[in-house]
Structure 1
Amino acid sequence: MSEDQDTTPAPGTFDDVFGANAAYAEEFSLAGLKPLAARGLALVTCMDSRIEPLDMLGLEPGDAKILRNAGARVTDDTLRTLVLAVYLLGVDRVLVLPHTRCKMASVASDDAVHDLILEEHGVDTRSLEFHTDNDQLGALRHDLERIRHHPLLPQGLPVAGALYDVDSGRVDPVDL
């Protein structure tokens, strides 16, 4: 994208979400909610719009810190956020929760994603790391170990993995 290109959204582009927010604000009931994770949970999950993290785990607003990214991967930024959540926001356990039929687990490599974006959109994304892995359980195992052995997180921090099924709504613990 050139620097001269106007990136101002067309009028009305976001009217749907701002209108919905106006209705939400009229009945807003979360004022005064503390910023701590009331149930001590940090949830690392995917950005997939089929995932409703509060509902699927029986949580209420304020119960958990929810970290979402493509593929539910434990990246350096996820680790940074978990350190803050543990020491400043009341988190005392972590659940990493990828899901079935995830695009990031259905491609062979980051190269395949880079090639697809370049081919379909003409954008070279090779400066980014997408953390794709078609061995979803292997990736989950790796990510759990990253948390368990991070030098700035407490030893013995309870860390678990599970897989969310987008077709049934079930969360199945994965013993790794």
Structure 2
Amino acid sequence: MSDDNGAAPTGGAFEDVFTANADYAAQYALAGLKPVAARGLALVTCMDSRIEPLDMLGLKPGDAKILRNAGARVTDDTLRTLVLAVYLLGVDRVLVLPHTRCKMASVPGDDAVHDVIMEEHGVDTRSLEFHTDNDQQGALRHDLERIRHHPLLPAGLAVAGAIYDVDTGRISPVDF
């Protein structure tokens, strides 16, 4: 939202990020970067702030398309985005990368999350699907199969899974 002059509001809850962006913009060096994935990679990972997708995979800006959501799950929206990435943005391989100690893999199911949010905040979230699954390996296997068998994705698309360890920074490939 902006004021009458088109400027971003100052002060308040976002002042720190607006100030940081001004510093970033003063040194901005990514102008002209092409919108394709230079290394052909799409990464599906979690929104967890302990994950630094570029650094942990030896990537730089422009190398990959990074899709983040709670639990690194392959949802319908993830599949929609992968279709676009494959056909329009140079993606020819997909890595699905959940992580250790993920909240979405440590609860017994969506009902438990709905109950906690209702009890602690009084908000009924039952209209949402959170895709929780405390069988992280099983969820990863399921998600890889969703990509491999999606009718709009090419049959030869390289698809792999791995688990990121938030305590060591190491990635362990998983072979399904």
TM-score (norm 1): 0.94
1:115-168 Cα deviation digits (max 9, x unpaired): 000001000000000000000000000000000000000001000000000000
Match of 2:27 in 1: 27
Q: Could you say which residue in structure 1 is the equivalent of 2:6?
A: none
**TM-score normalised to structure 2 length:** 0.94
Could you say what secondary structure the match of 1:162 adopts? strand
Q: How far did residue 171 of structure 1 move?
A: 0.6
* Pairing 1:61–2:44 present: no
**Which residue pairs with 1:36 in the alignment?**
36
2-structure distance, mates of 1:167, 1:51? 11
Size of the aligned set, in residue pairs, is 168
Identity of aligned residues (%): 86
- Please show how residues 138-157 of structure 1 align to structure 2 within 5 Å: 138-157=138-157
Paired residue type of 1:135: D
Q: CA deviation at 1:12?
A: 1.7
- Specify the SS of the correspondent of 1:95: strand
Cα deviation for residue 10 of structure 1 reads 9.6
Structure 1 unmatched runs, 5+: 1-8
Separation in 2, partners of 1:97, 1:13: 32
What is the CA RMSD across the aligned residues, in angstroms? 1.1
Q: Which residue type is aligned with residue 72 of structure 2?
A: A
What residue in structure 1 maps to residue 47 of structure 2?
47
Partners in 1 of 2:23 and 2:163 — Cα distance? 34
Asked if 1:116 is matched to 2:116, the reply is yes
State the partner residue of 1:5: none
Deviating runs (4+, > 2 A) in structure 1? none
